[in-house]
Structure 1
Amino acid sequence: MARVGDRPVTLTRKPEPPADSSDWVIWAAWADRVSFDEIRERTGLDEQAVIKIMRRELKPASFRRWRKRASGQVTKHRKRFMQLREMSR
């Protein structure tokens, strides 16, 4: 671990980009715990707009991998996540 002065520096593999960039949308779409609702709240983009951005910015194979991953994730949809959580109680 690297050190700066007396504190350790944590090196993250994929740090969060600035929220005002399109890179943030891509980062948030890949993140497991960031739902499409949260993306809409921060950027105003709905799920279909995020899909269009991902299709445009990613390579075809990466887009297919992301789409398969995102469509199977309950956490990407806040409503489905909350329903699942209630059922487990």
Structure 2
Amino acid sequence: MLLSQEDESRIIEMAWEDRTPFEAIDLQFKMQEPDVIKFMRNKLKPRSFKTWRERVSGRNTKHLKLRSKEITRGYCPTQYKNR
């Protein structure tokens, strides 16, 4: 799959976001979790990839089936404040 730099940047951003589930990336870019992991491994520096994997492994908010029903949005309320 050929992706534009904008798409690659957006996938990386979504993968780093705590509240954005892998299912959202799959819905928008047709990349399931294993595909996102491979993508991140290829696009990030080794230490950044390791940090990311440690961060998302076991994180309930990265999987729709595991996340709390109280979480109704895909981002933190302070994430997109107007400056």
- What is the TM-score when the length of structure 1 is the normalising length? 0.68
Instruction: Determine whether 1:59 maps to 2:45.
Output: yes
Instruction: Determine whether 1:31 maps to 2:43.
Output: no
CA distance in 1, matches of 2:15, 2:38: 12
- What is the TM-score when the length of structure 2 is the normalising length? 0.72
Report the aligned-residue RMSD: 1.8
1:42-73, Cα deviation, whole Å (9 max, x unpaired): 11110011001100010111100000111131
- What amino acid maps onto 1:61 in structure 2? R
Larger Rg: 1
Hey, which of these two has a bigger chunk of strand by percent?
1
What is the number of residues matched between the two proteins? 66
Instruction: Determine whether 1:42 maps to 2:28.
Output: yes
- What amino acid maps onto 1:24 in structure 2? R
SS class of match (1:29): helix
- For structure 1, list consecutive stretches of 5 or more residues without a partner in the other structure: 1-17
Q: Which structure has the higher relative contact order (CA within 8 Å, separation 6+)? A: 2
4+ residue segments displaced more than 2 Å: none
- For structure 2, list consecutive stretches of 5 or more residues without a partner in the other structure: 71-83
- What amino acid maps onto 1:62 in structure 2? S
| Partner residue, 1:68 | 54
